[in-house]
């Protein structure tokens, strides 16, 4: 069902797909769109029974208990690193605050020339 025009040999589906897609603003947006398209195709292949062994193995792997545990561990490591980073920043902030407090106190202390009679 290929319809051609004088200047183009594109199908109606090609033209309608071009109209639907807007230019991507970011690389992440383009990647997410490709991932969504791939997932839709894989789902369709699985439903129709035409999926390759690689596609089936991929989804079996990501659905396994071991894979879920590894993802959870990875997420916990990210949270731990974030907490450590926060603690380091807090410690640096406290050190700066103590240094400023000590400097302010030294300015308020009597000088050597000052004597009490």
pLDDT digits (tens, 9 = 90+) for 11-46: 655 555 555 778 889 999 999 999 999 999 999 999
Using CA atoms, how far apart are residues 34 and 41, in angstroms rounded to an integer?
11
Triad 50, 52, 57: Cα angle to 5°: 125
Q: Let me know: does 38 contact 29? Beta carbons within 8 Å.
A: no
Residue 1 pLDDT = 47
Contact between 82 and 74 (Cβ < 8 Å) = no
* pLDDT higher at 11 or 1: 11
Buried-state track 66-94, b at ≥16 Cβ within 10 A, e below 16:
eeeeeeeeeeeeeeeeeeeeeeeeeeeee
pLDDT, tens only, 55-114: 999 999 988 999 899 999 999 999 999 999 999 999 888 888 888 888 888 887 666 665
3 pLDDT above the threshold of 90: no
Residue 79 has what pLDDT?
96
**Residue 58's pLDDT is what?**
92
Q: Distance (Å, rounded) from C-alpha 104 to C-alpha 28? A: 49
């Amino acid at each position: 069902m290929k319809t051609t025009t004088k200047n183009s040999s594109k199908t109606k589906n090609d033209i309608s797909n071009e109209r639907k897609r807007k230019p991507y603003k970011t690389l992440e947006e383009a990647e997410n769109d490709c991932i969504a398209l791939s997932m839709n195709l894989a789902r369709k292949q699985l439903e129709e029974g035409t999926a390759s062994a690689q596609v089936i193995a991929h989804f079996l792997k990501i659905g396994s208990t071991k894979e879920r545990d590894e993802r959870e561990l990875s997420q916990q490591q990210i949270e731990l690193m974030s907490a450590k980073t926060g603690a380091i920043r807090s410690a640096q902030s406290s050190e700066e605050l103590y240094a400023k407090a000590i400097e302010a106190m030294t300015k308020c202390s009597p000088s050597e020339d000052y004597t009490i009679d």
